[in-house]
């Protein structure tokens, strides 16, 4: 087949362009283009849609300029025709090979609310960072994977990364922290955070505007895509189909995908098997309820950030009672501060109890060293004061050592604090006492039963 002059010129331009970009970009952005005509040293090319035109203008201006000059000389010009609804519409811009200055820009026909087409607004909350995400045993795997991804997005085995867990454990915080860290380390990367609800609404809007292709093109140019609450795509067949295609494109091009969910991929309902299969390709990391020490660390971090200080017994009381939700933990702290400020009340245990009653149905009674000493003294028929004395009488020594053992195992007090509650003894004495009790339990079954009974009484006293 004999090519027309305009086709010959464009084919030569394509050969030049192909040598200067990667194969995938060439296939995506240049193979769909058709040469239309060559008149007065002006080459007209046809592009599939307005987004295509804008992408070429934004990313390949210099390359187009150079290829055109190579074929047509300095006086060569480039015109566009944009294919809309199967009709050819003359382009509104022309470029000469020397100046390559665009005329009036064509408005983007596909506008995603809050997102700019070419310079993507990542939609991230800058407060969500790794520095503000407190690490503990409950989240160590997910946090470590997040750091690895931020250092090398799309280049680790954690693609996709699915972060799952109950409400209020920090899934959104960690996912956005990854995005913020990527931008910090790789400023040229396109990062986008979107909730599954917003993603679905955008698809509905694109279908209504007959612009699904533009929608997919937009998402396919993202380097790190973060989709929150993926479980809400359940039952949405068209949305899942479009997301499947976007996911495939990103993954095949080594772009990073981060997803959050309230359950592991295997438990997602009304989700296509092929999607679930792809979610399992990378790493699924769960966020568990934070342990006591992590809850306290979260509170101290929040207090430091807000420039406030709470009594230690209050922070311990909050941490002891709010166990399963980081959001509630911070909410209690804010409420206590507000009550104290607005009502001019002293921050103490009583205020903490009043506030926490609005967050939990039943407040856990606090296990204290004093309550343990009282139960042990009662069991051994001793005055409580004897446990703090310096007497070396065997019955008192055993009761004192047992009290220290229970205090270590059933409270969150430090060894130093426990020792101070027993006549100012040091932490080494507490360690020795705990070991002595454990050794005696291993050799004396009756004593072991005594310890078990006292532990049961302490637990029962919490609900009494």
Three-state secondary structure string covering 16-43: HHHCCCCHHHHHHHCCCCEEEEEECCEE
The set of residues, in sequence order, having a beta carbon less than 8 Å from that of 94 and lying 6+ positions away, is 42, 77, 78, 79, 103
Residues linked to residue 34 through DSSP beta bridges, in sequence order: 46
292-356: CATH class? mainly alpha
Which two tokens mark 253? 């091009």
**pLDDT tens profile 205-264:** 888 888 888 888 888 888 999 999 999 988 888 889 889 989 988 988 899 999 999 899
Mean pLDDT is lowest, of 109-123, 156-170, 334-348, for 109-123
3-state secondary structure at position 156? coil
Q: What is the mean pLDDT of residues 355-361?
A: 70
Which two tokens mark 358? 């609005």
Q: Is the pLDDT of residue 108 over 60?
A: no
CA dist 80 and 212 (Å) reads 22
CA dist 146 and 124 (Å) reads 15
Domain boundary assignment for the chain: 5-96, 140-287, 292-356, 369-463
Q: Which helix (H) or strand (E) holds 451?
A: helix 445-463
Distance separating the N- and C-terminal Cα atoms of the chain: 94
What CATH superfamily classification does 140-287 receive? P-loop containing nucleotide triphosphate hydrolases (3.40.50.300)
Provide the pLDDT confidence category of residue 104 given band limits of 50, 70 and 90.
Answer: very low
Q: Is the pLDDT of residue 27 over 60?
A: yes
CA dist 161 and 152 (Å) reads 13
**pLDDT tens profile 184-215:** 999 888 899 999 998 998 888 888 888 888 88
User: What is the rounded average pLDDT for all residues in the chain?
Assistant: 81
Q: Tell me the pTM.
A: 0.53
Q: Is the pLDDT of residue 91 over 60?
A: no
CA dist 95 and 75 (Å) reads 10
Q: State how beta strands 87-96 and 77-84 pair.
A: antiparallel
Q: Does domain 369-463 have CATH number 3.40.50.2020?
A: no
**pLDDT tens profile 391-415:** 888 888 999 999 999 988 888 788 8
**pLDDT tens profile 289-322:** 887 778 888 888 888 877 778 888 787 777 777 7
Q: For position 99, what pLDDT does the model report?
A: 38
Q: Is the pLDDT of residue 345 over 50?
A: yes
How big is the chain by its Cα radius of gyration, in Å? 33
What CATH superfamily classification does 5-96 receive? DnaA, N-terminal domain (3.30.300.180)
**Of residues 355 and 124, more confidently modeled:** 124
Q: Which helix (H) or strand (E) holds 148?
A: helix 140-151
């Amino acid at each position: 087949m004999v090519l027309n002059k305009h086709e010959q010129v464009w084919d030569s331009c394509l050969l030049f362009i192909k040598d200067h970009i990667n194969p995938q970009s060439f296939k995506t952005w240049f193979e769909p283009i058709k040469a239309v005509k060559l008149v007065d040293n002006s080459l007209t090319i046809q592009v599939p849609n307005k987004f295509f035109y804008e992408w070429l203008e934004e990313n390949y201006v210099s390359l187009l300029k150079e290829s055109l000059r190579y074929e047509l000389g300095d006086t060569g010009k480039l015109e566009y025709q944009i294919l809309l609804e199967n009709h050819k519409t003359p382009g509104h811009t022309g470029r000469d090979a020397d100046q390559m200055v665009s005329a009036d820009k064509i408005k983007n026909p596909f506008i995603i609310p809050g997102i700019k087409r070419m310079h993507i607004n990542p939609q991230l909350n800058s407060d969500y960072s790794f520095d503000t995400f407190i690490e503990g045993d409950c989240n160590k795997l997910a946090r470590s994977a997040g750091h690895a991804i931020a250092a090398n997005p799309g280049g680790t085995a954690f693609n996709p990364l699915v972060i799952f867990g109950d409400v209020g454990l920090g899934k959104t915080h960690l996912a956005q922290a990854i995005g913020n860290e990527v931008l910090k380390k790789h400023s040229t990367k396109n990062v986008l955070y979107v909730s599954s609800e917003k993603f679905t609404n955008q698809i509905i809007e694109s279908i209504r505007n007959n612009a699904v292709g533009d929608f997919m093109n937009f998402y396919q140019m993202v380097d790190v895509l973060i989709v929150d609450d993926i479980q809400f795509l359940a039952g949405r067949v068209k949305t899942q189909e479009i997301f499947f295609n976007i996911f495939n494109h990103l993954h095949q091009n080594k772009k990073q995908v981060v997803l959050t969910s309230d359950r592991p991929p295997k438990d997602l309902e009304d989700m296509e098997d092929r999607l679930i299969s792809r979610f399992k390709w990378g790493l699924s990391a769960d966020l568990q309820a934070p342990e006591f020490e992590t809850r306290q660390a979260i509170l101290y971090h929040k207090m430091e950030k807000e420039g406030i200080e709470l009594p230690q017994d209050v922070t311990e009381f909050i941490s002891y009672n709010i166990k399963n939700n980081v959001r509630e933990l911070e909410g209690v702290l804010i409420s206590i501060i507000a009550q104290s400020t607005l009502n001019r009340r002293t921050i103490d245990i009583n205020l903490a109890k009043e506030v926490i009653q609005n967050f939990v149905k039943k407040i856990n009674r606090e296990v204290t060293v004093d309550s343990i000493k009282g139960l042990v003294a009662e069991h051994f028929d001793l005055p409580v004061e004897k446990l703090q004395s310096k007497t070396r009488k065997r019955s008192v020594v055993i009761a004192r050592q047992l009290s220290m053992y229970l205090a270590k195992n059933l409270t969150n007090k430090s060894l130093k604090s426990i020792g101070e509650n027993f006549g100012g003894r040091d932490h080494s004495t507490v360690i020795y006492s705990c070991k002595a009790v454990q050794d005696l339990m291993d050799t004396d079954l009756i004593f072991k039963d005594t310890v078990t009974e006292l532990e049961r009484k302490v637990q029962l006293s919490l609900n009494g």
